[in-house]
Structure 1
Amino acid sequence: MATIEINFDGLIGPMHNYAGLSPGNIASASNAGAISRPREAALQGLAKMKRLMDRGLVQGFFPPLRRPGVAALRMLGFTGDDHAVLARAAAEDAVLFNNICSASSMWAANAATVIAGADSGDGRVHLIAANLASMLHRSFEAPETFAMLRRIFRDDRHFAVHPALPATPHFSDEGAANHMRLTTAHGTRGTNVFVHGASRGSRFPERQARRAGEAVARLAGTNGLHVLQSQAAIEAGAFHNDVVAVANEQVLLAHADAFADRDALMAALDRAVPGFIPIEIDTIGLDEAIRSYLFNSQLITLPEGGMALILPAEVQAEPRVWAAVQAIVAGNNPVNEAIVVDVRESMRNGGGPACLRLRVPVDAAARAAIDPRFLLDERRWSALWRLVEAHWPEAIDARHLADPALWAEVTAAHDALDRFLTEGD
């Protein structure tokens, strides 16, 4: 079997809520305090996974991290049983409490940076957990994410799972959302592009440090291009590169204003990637791109050949964006299909189809080494769907995160998922 790319989607957790914790994420800030629908959110994510499965792609999933994050609170000095820890934190530090209630691990693109075995120094797939140091609510995720990745990619013959870089601004790392790989095929050596920000006085945080990309490349024994994101994109609300650019094999789909030095990047990729195909969009503004999340689509290679864009339904609400999609599909390039999916619950919190998944390229031996409990077939997908229907809360008011009845309901949902993973379905 040739090397394929498996999408591991984050299963949206039962604590999915709109607390508006992410400066620079316009959708998250705009919906702060609104009513979220965790059950509907998780089912939307599962439906997206099923669309890819139905097209013959291999699909994996990451379980949500347990929230509220009692373990994080214990590290900060809160004591007692779980209920006492949560009650004291809610009473003494409401801001901290809201942050440890975040279900943001749903966005698996921020779990890690993945370096393909064909590109690494030892031939293994390397996964470097992201420290997510720039946002308090996400900074709690790194140790748990590392443990989860070690559990799933446990065979050291095929995978090297690295803990997160030091959680400082110097190494601020948001994972695969700021990494692209271009290559002639998933199994051949490629060119890794690490996109970073800089201290430029932007009104929003520039979350990815260049040093982080450089460290990731060293850990995996690879080289790459280190590219500065444009300040205009940051100012418009592109808090990650994957809000304005996405790549797959030889294709780079990007907004014309995505990069600070567009010409240098295009020239470097033209030299490095045989058959490089840039698709630049200049017919829509950055504001339209960010409202619709056009570039936060999944760009996938189909088993029968050609490529498809997995797009959020919001692209159809923007006439110029939808016209751009139709032009891409009709153009002289490998992208010949647009598949629209409904992930509006994720979109309202600032994450589209690409945010929800981590891409892991594997050959046959590496695929066989993945813990099979985290790979989906029809039976396991159906069991997950039923589990979510039975246990996920229908709605959460972000003003009521300190309700003990909600904690109990969410804990029961996590317990049910743990049983699914440990006892079978």
Structure 2
Amino acid sequence: MSTSSPLAVEANFDGLVGPTHNYAGLAHGNLAAAKNADLPSNPREAALQGLAKMRALQRLGLAQGVLPPQERPNLPALRRLGYSGRDRDILAKVAREAPGLLAAVSSASSMWTANAGTVSPSADTADGRVHFTPANLCSNLHRSFEPATSGRVLRATFPDTRHFEHHEPLPATPALGDEGAANHTRLCADYGEPGLELFVYGKGNADEPAPQKFPARQTRAACEALARLHGLQAGRTRHQLQNPAVIDQGVFHNDVIAVGNREVLLHHEDAFADSAALRQWITQNWSSTQEQARKPVFIDVPRDAVSVEDAVGSYLFNSQLVCPPEGGMQLIVSSECQENPRVWQQIQRIVEDERNPITQVQVFDLRQSMRNGGGPACLRLRVVLTEAERTAVNAASWITPERYDALTAWVMRYYRDRLVLADLADAALLDETRTALDVLTQILGIGSVYDFQR
């Protein structure tokens, strides 16, 4: 196992919201998506809100990257399903015969790059490279179309095989259901040191409890396969059962009820099937080469202070924990947290508590994403990088002031400010989207990652 330099950073690669951002309510178990189904959306505002968060974190001195949206509507998928003819005729026919399918192939859900895949840093892997495995996302039709393009995007963004190893998605079967980094957390004393990798699953062995109302999307078998593929050390990897009762309350991913960063694990009292055993394992397996190493910090939010309903409605735990270069740790939350008095009071308690390193909270307006059930943590894929690995990343994928301006101008030129489900059959929207994405691949320098370009 590698002993990477502690001079490493945790970079965030946020998904850019796509031009077909809409509210179709496609994800069973995602209460926000169901609640706002059929409402008009504003793709332009959604993309600008996401970019504003990226730029703000870049201003903090954090390593901030961007990943592009996918081609939607997905005409290649419709052709694989037996539709033929001109693109505009296919869209019209699917709109008449199968409007639900049209919504599925038009979803902009790839914006939530926490589900793009699972990433293990070089400090943890047997070959000393950063490992990527795109999630198969086989639990929902609309997301099952993403893995192939996600893999191409990840390879284009992290192209240097001396530093990066890319795996194929796991077989797309419910027995190996994998939703990516939304169910994966890494804890460590320092980013460049070997860490503890925590995989959280909802569907495990036959004798383990399971949700009754909503499906468990992440399986233990998938978590175990990912650990093997990434060459992780068994003693520093844990497969943890999520509390099935909270899945039935709308906690469809672990990042809706818990968030970890460096030495901090912030979670709801009811997040895990056995929180005490998890804490004990983390404490017993914690290690560091530094004399004054950071120790694990557990922030357990009691149900009496914040209910699971409050957590799901505000996405308190779908926040980001980030470590700016000047020190301290900051909590990045959606404005819905500030609007819930109980949640906001709990956040103030966390920030004011000197026993943990969180010193500040920043609030962002992400309503367009939140109405579809995705908060700050959903929008980003975390990648720990050493200095050499950071240099090996595709340079144009990093957010800089100039790239932020270019992407903002791109959004203003190509995105609509209102979209309803009936618009998905508009052939002009398809043309607009393809034109926009073709320009975007040039801005980001990632080559031909889309089917229409290949």
TM range (shorter): over 0.9
Task: Calculate the TM-score normalised by the size of structure 1.
Answer: 0.97
Match for residue 53 of structure 2?
48
Q: Is the 8 A contact 1:8 1:357 kept in 2?
A: yes
Amino acid at match of 1:291: G
Number of equivalences: 424
Q: Is 1:301 aligned to 2:323, yes or no?
A: yes
Q: Secondary structure at the match of 2:137?
A: coil
Is it true that 1:375 corresponds to 2:398 in the alignment? yes
Shift of 1:201: 4.6
Q: In the alignment, is residue 168 of structure 1 matched against residue 178 of structure 2?
A: no
Shift of 1:383: 0.5
**SS of alignment partner, residue 36 of structure 1:** coil
Matches of 1:316 and 1:234, distance apart in 2? 24
Q: Which moved more, 1:156-165 or 1:82-91?
A: 82-91
The alpha-carbon deviation at position 76 of structure 1 amounts to 1.8
Q: Is the 8 A contact 1:110 1:174 kept in 2?
A: yes
Identify unmatched segments of 5+ residues in structure 1.
Answer: none
Moved over 6 A (4+): none
Aligned to 1:217: 227
Structure 2 Cα separation of the partners of residues 195 and 172 of structure 1? 12
Does residue 1:329 correspond to 2:329, yes or no?
no
Post-superposition Cα deviations, 1:107-157, rounded to whole Å, max 9, x if no partner, equal: 000000011110011010001100000000000001111111111111111
1:7 paired residue number: 12
1:355 pairs, out of 359, 378, 387, with: 378
1:386 aligns with 2:409: yes
Of 216, 235, 239, 1:206 maps to: 216
Alignment of 1:395-406 (within 5 A): 395-406=418-429
Mapping of residues 77-116 of structure 1, within 5 Å: 77-116=82-121
In the TM superposition, residue 86 of structure 1 has moved relative to its aligned partner by: 2.5
8 Å CA contact retained: 1:393, 1:409: no
- Whether the aligned pair in 2 keeps the contact of 1:393 and 1:410 (CA below 8 Å) is no
- The more displaced of 22-31 and 85-94 is 85-94
For residues 223-282 of structure 1, the C-alpha deviation after alignment (integer angstroms, 9 at most, x for no partner) is 310001001210110100000000011100000100011111111111122511100000
> For the residues of structure 2 that align with 1:93 and 1:249, how far apart are their CA atoms?
46
Structure 2 partner of 1:277: 297
Q: Which runs of 5+ in 2 are unaligned?
A: 204-208, 288-294, 448-454
Contact 1:250 1:273 in 2 (8 A): no
Residue type matched to 2:29 in 1? G
Deviations 1:359-415 (A, max 9, x none): 000101111111112111111111101110111111101243212233333333223
Letter in 2 for 1:322: W
1:228-307 equivalences under 5 Å are 228-274=241-287, 275-282=295-302, 283-307=305-329
1:180 matched residue in structure 2: 185
Give the percent of matched residue pairs that are identical in Structure 1 and Structure 2: 50
- Asked whether the equivalents of residues 156 and 446 of structure 2 are also in contact (C-alpha less than 8 Å), the reply is no
Distance 1:303 1:212 in 2: 35
**What are the superposed Cα offsets for residues 89-120 of structure 1, whole Å, 9 maximum, x if unpaired?**
33332221110000000000000001111001
2:339 maps to a residue whose letter is A
Question: Residues of 1 paired with 2:147 and 2:404: CA distance?
Answer: 27
Distance 1:142 1:375 in 2: 22
Determine the structure 2 residue equivalent to 1:315.
Answer: 337
Q: CA deviation at 1:422?
A: 4.4
Structural RMSD (CA): 1.5
Counterpart-to-counterpart distance in 1, 2:350 and 2:267: 11
Rounded Cα–Cα distance in structure 1 between residues aligned with 2:446 and 2:199: 40
C-alpha offsets along residues 31-59 of structure 1, whole Å, 9 cap, x if unaligned? 00000000000000000001101111111
CA separation of 1:8 and 1:422: change in aligned 2, threshold 3 A: closer
The C-alpha deviation readout for 1:166-194, integer Å capped at 9, x for no partner, is 00011100000000001001000000000
Query: Once the 2 structures are TM-superposed, how far is the Cα of residue 73 of structure 1 from its aligned partner?
Result: 1.5
Q: Alpha-carbon deviation of 1:302?
A: 1.4
Check the 8 A contact 1:391/1:416 in 2, yes or no. no
